[in-house]
Amino acid sequence: MNRRHADVHPWRADGINAARRHAVPSKRVVNVCTGIGRRSVDAPRRHPWNGRVVVLTLLVSISALGVIVAMALNSGSLAPSSVISLPPTGHNAPPYPIGVPDAANPSGEAPPPPNALAGYTLRYENDFAGTTLPSGWVVYTGNPLGDAGAQFGSAHVKVNGGLLLLSTWRDATYGGEWVTGGLCHCGLASTYGAYFVRSRVTGPGPNEVQLLWPASQKWPPELDFNETGARDTSTSSTDHYGPTNQTDQRVLRIDMTQWHTWGVVWTPTSIVYVVDGEEWASISAATEIPHVPMTLDLQQQTWCTTNRDCPTSRVTMEIDWVAEYGARSSSGAGASSGAGAS
């Protein structure tokens, strides 16, 4: 996604107003390009109309290129970053956790077991039973630095029916503004680990984001491992790194209204983005890997005042469960579970 906005990290309940205003990034992308193939052929005899044909061909090609560029500019980006489409894989021994099939579970998948990921042990797991937010989670409220995309309300985060619900709607309490839900698992910060979130969205409109954020509030780094860009037909991952906020982004075409298990596996040498048990993108450049404690954050944002990422009706991000793993060699590897954990 072409980040033309300045998005802000949500208002923290501990009084830290941590801005993640994005300067114009130096974005490292892997673009999908097309080229014109060349063949060697015997030189034909020249005809008087050859020049006219060449000129006409060039004019048509230039016009077509102009249309393509115009369409790309209207979409916000000249070329998508590593656009990928993945077929469904099911439970045929995927390398990463999807969950455990369970028809009684809202998403049809219960949380994965403690040994679901080789070389890792479970740190935390929660399937959000009951109606109370588990301990360790902090709900965002307020409008940090007056940013138009960051009006959060505590009423927009609920636990109900075995789901954690983040909802965006026009809230009369805020003068009819579009208000969103957001929260962080601020009670558990880790350096490296594997994070999995079972979720879906009910439609397009707000930007829906699942990310890792620095516990120190010193940004960058930031790892967005599932960010819809207000769409329900695709998502993206974005690694923010370096003092000038360089970014490395990938895009995945996928139906976001269906249940998926999203994940990021972060080690000292790599970042692997996962969906439904399969890797769909990865990063291994040493300069792009963060090495500071980070927390799992879930949030929605809108930019209605700038006519971007603005819904037309109520939209909800439904989270069935989250699971966080640590490498067995890392400290604090014991599992921690909140209310409703399996």
Instruction: Round to whole Å and give the CA distance between 316 and 52.
Output: 58
With a cut of 50, say whether residue 23 has pLDDT above it: no
pLDDT at 145: 66
pLDDT at position 340 over 50: no
Q: What is the mean pLDDT of residues 108-120?
A: 97
Q: How far, in Å, CA of 194 to CA of 123, rounded?
A: 10
pLDDT for 22 equals: 35
Give pLDDT, residue 307: 83
Model confidence at 42, pLDDT cuts 50, 70, 90, reads: very low
Segment 3-30 mean pLDDT: 39
Q: pLDDT band at 83, cuts 50/70/90?
A: low
**pLDDT value of position 72:** 32
92 pLDDT band (50/70/90 cuts)?
A: low
User: For 110-119, 242-251, 298-307, which range has the lowest pLDDT when averaged over its residues?
Assistant: 298-307
- Would you call 187 exposed, middle or buried from its count of C-beta atoms within 10 A (0-12, 13-18, 19+)? middle
Q: Give me the torsion for CA of 336, 337, 338, 340, rounded to 10°.
A: 180
Mean confidence (pLDDT) of the chain: 79
Residue 238 has what pLDDT? 98
Count of Cβ atoms closer than 10 Å to residue 215 Cβ: 16
How far apart CA 303 and CA 312 sit, in angstroms, is 12
Please check whether residue 187 is in contact with residue 297, taking contact to mean a CB–CB distance below 8 angstroms.
no
**What's the pLDDT score for residue 3?**
33
Chain segment 261-280, per-residue pLDDT in tens: 999 999 999 999 999 999 99
> How is residue 269 written in tokens?
């040498």
pLDDT of residue 329: 74
Q: How far apart are CA 340 and CA 132, in angstroms?
A: 10
pLDDT above 90 for 2: no
Q: What is the pLDDT of residue 73?
A: 32
Residue percentage of the chain with pLDDT more than 70: 69
Joined together, the tokens standing for residue 337 give 């579970």
Query: What's the confidence (pLDDT) of residue 172?
Result: 96
What are the φ and ψ backbone dihedral angles of 258, each rounded to 5 degrees? -95, 155
